[in-house]
Structure 1
Amino acid sequence: MTGLTRRDILGGAAALALMPSAAVASSPDFRSLGLARPAFEIDPKLDLTDLDGTRHRIGDYRGKVLAVSFWATWCPPCRREMPALARLARELGRDDFAVLAVNVGDREDRIRAFLDEIDDDGLTVLMDTGKTMPGIWYLRGLPVTYILNGSAEVILAAVGDRVWDAPEMVTALKELNRR
């Protein structure tokens, strides 16, 4: 799915449908954090470069809980949550967790200019300049964040911005790694 515009991304039918799942609805209460199991199967594919030119694939993160957050510089909720994602990445550490911020459609200079305005220390920012990820990950709006378990299976999703570094969120995500 290439050539998507901002209007295409935002104008899909309904935003990503979410429903609770018994498997993830146990303690902690992920629904109270705005996280739920996607209502459909996602085969998480990712083959993108970061701002330094390093290629990242889902398989690179096996064994880790992975947050993959899709965003754009023109998206106010995305802009609000990016510093919290960076703080989350620092709080969780790199041993058992990873946070990837996948920019959808912006030029590298716009991404860098935005990142110069915020605290992005510790955040891995990937570029989807070809806008291929919305079709693969069923994006119908931004921001959307998926949480994958250590086996690279999508287990939770969030549509819209979240306070990712809130103590309850950090505790809940750490709990995923203990399962």
Structure 2
Amino acid sequence: MSPPRPATRRRIPIAIGAVAAAGVVGLGAFYGLGSFKRGTGGDPSCAGAVELARKISPLAHGEVAALTMATTPLRLPDLAFEDAEGKLRKLSEWRGKTVLVNLWATWCVPCRKEMPALENLQAKLGGKDFEVVAINIDTRDPEKPKNFLKEANLTRLGYFADQKAKVFQDLKNIGKALGMPTSVLVDAQGCEIATLAGPAEWASEDAIKLIKGAIQPMKAGS
């Protein structure tokens, strides 16, 4: 009997290689390439935010060690929500400021615990260069989050809400919202500096130093 032809013996590994390659392409589309197709990632005009993230990354320790610093230039969607009077607001209104976007809800226990720290952060650093934009995503009783803030005496934070929770879905679509609370540190051009899934002690010395580090480059260029 003649020995098997080499082509026959190579067929199986070639087939396996093709399947593996297809798998890699599939994963790429799921985890990363899809965002480029949607136009939500790789914005060259956000390269400065990535460089800023690299510079202040040594400050992401202690109470803010869980922050994920931006490594890909990403402009956030122009999130739409309402203020306390029901007026439509958009994230782009805060261009020119460093912003900490925070999504919270009254049914989220870590969110409620985090709110006083966000209030104190706004009290310490809020102004012409920085603002906390905390967006409530309760979808039922619109008075419940307002009452929570009033009863907790949280008066420094502006009240913003999205009863359809579309802001969460918009951030989820670009991989920046996995649960609650979610916080995204955004530069003056609307680009991601860092993201945090979960609560943090935003009024801590660690957080204050990091936020100041994010604000300084903008102040230097103003």
TM-score range, shorter chain: 0.7 to 0.9
Aligned equivalents of 2:135 and 2:190: distance in 1? Answer: 17
User: Given the two structures, how large is their TM-score scaled by the length of structure 1?
Assistant: 0.80
Contiguous gaps of at least 5 residues in structure 1? 1-20
Relative to its length, the structure with more strand (as a share) is 1
Task: Check the 8 A contact 2:100/2:185 in 1, yes or no.
Answer: yes
CA RMSD of aligned residues (A): 2.0
The question of 1:153 aligning with 2:191 is answered yes
Out of 56, 64, 69, the residue aligned to residue 37 of structure 1 is: 69
Distance 1:26 1:43 in 2: 20
Deviations 1:84-141 (A, max 9, x none): 1011111112110011111113431111121122131210221110121122011221
C-alpha contact (below 8 Å) 2:60/2:210 kept by paired residues: no
Decide whether the 8 Å contact of 1:35 with 1:158 is kept in 2: yes
1:104 corresponds, among 114, 118, 137, to 137
Q: Which has the larger radius of gyration?
A: 2
**One-letter amino acid matched to 1:57:** K
- Counterpart of 1:14 in structure 2 is none
Answering whether residue 98 of structure 2 is matched by residue 65 of structure 1, we say yes
Aligned residue type for 1:124: G
Given residue 90 of structure 2, which amino acid in structure 1 is its aligned partner? R
Residue 99 of structure 1 aligns to a residue in which SS? Answer: strand
Deviation at 1:22, TM superposition (A): 6.6
Amino acid paired to 1:71: W
Aligned partner (choices 124, 133, 149) of residue 115 of structure 1: 149
2:52–2:214 Cα contact (<8 Å) kept: no
- Partners of 2:88 and 2:55 lie apart in 1 by 35
Q: Which has the higher contact order (CA 8 A, sep 6+)?
A: 1
Matches within 5 A, 1:131-146: 131-138=165-172, 139-146=177-184
- Structure-2 separation of matches of 1:46 and 1:65: 15
Pair 1:24-2:53 in alignment? yes
- Structure 1 residues 170 and 60, CA gap change in structure 2 (3 angstroms): same
Identical positions, percent = 26
Structure 2: give runs of 5+ residues left out of the alignment: 1-49, 218-222
How far residue 26 of structure 1 moved from its aligned partner, in angstroms, is 3.0
Deviation per residue, 1:137-179 (Å, 9 max, x gap)? 1122100000000111011111111000112211210111112
Deviations 1:26-55 (A, max 9, x none): 346243122222577453321211122333
* Structure 1 residues 42 and 147: alpha-carbon distance in aligned structure 2, compared to 1, 3 A threshold: same
Count the aligned residue pairs: 159
After TM superposition, the structure 1 stretch with the greater mean CA deviation from structure 2, 23-32 or 47-56, is 23-32
Task: Kindly indicate which of the two structures has a greater share of residues assigned to helix.
Answer: 2
Cα 1:71–1:38 shift into 2, 3 Å: farther
